[in-house]
């Protein structure tokens, strides 16, 4: 199941629909962020929405669930990673 840190999405003016678009786009890449303080794996997804907005989306794997803890316009660093992978 996918859950969202709604306060973070609101702070960065990202919608759950935009997050879903990035996560479901075949061009999206992901990077391993290591383990959270709680011992859960974290991944950063970098991709485009249907209208071309570039986002970075952080997900923490909690058991069999996925929690979006972060989403915002992709930084220059992550955009370089994304462009290099295309």
Reported as a single tens digit per residue, the pLDDT across 39-72 is 999 999 999 999 999 999 999 999 999 999 999 9
Confidence of residue 80 (pLDDT cuts 50, 70, 90): very high
Q: Specify if 44 maps to a domain.
A: yes
Q: Are strands 2-4 and 29-35 parallel, antiparallel or unpaired?
A: unpaired
pTM of structure: 0.94
Range(s) of the domain holding residue 23: 2-70
Tell whether the torsion through CA atoms of 21, 23, 29 and 30 is positive or negative.
positive
If DSSP codes are grouped into helix, strand and coil, which group holds residue 57? Answer: strand
Burial (CB < 10 A; 0-12, 13-18, 19+), residue 29, is middle
Q: Distance between CA 48 and CA 40 in Å, rounded? A: 26
Number of independent structural domains in the chain:
1
The answer as to whether 78 is a domain residue is no
- Output the pLDDT for position 20: 97
């Amino acid at each position: 199941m996918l859950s969202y840190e709604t306060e973070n999405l609101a702070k960065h003016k990202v919608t759950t629909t935009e997050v879903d678009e990035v996560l479901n786009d075949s061009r999206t890449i992901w990077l391993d962020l290591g383990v959270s303080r709680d011992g859960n794996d974290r991944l950063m997804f970098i991709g485009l929405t249907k209208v071309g907005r570039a986002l970075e989306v952080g997900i923490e794997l909690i058991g069999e669930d996925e929690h979006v803890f972060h989403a915002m316009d992709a930084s220059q660093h992550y955009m370089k990673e994304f462009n290099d992978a295309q």
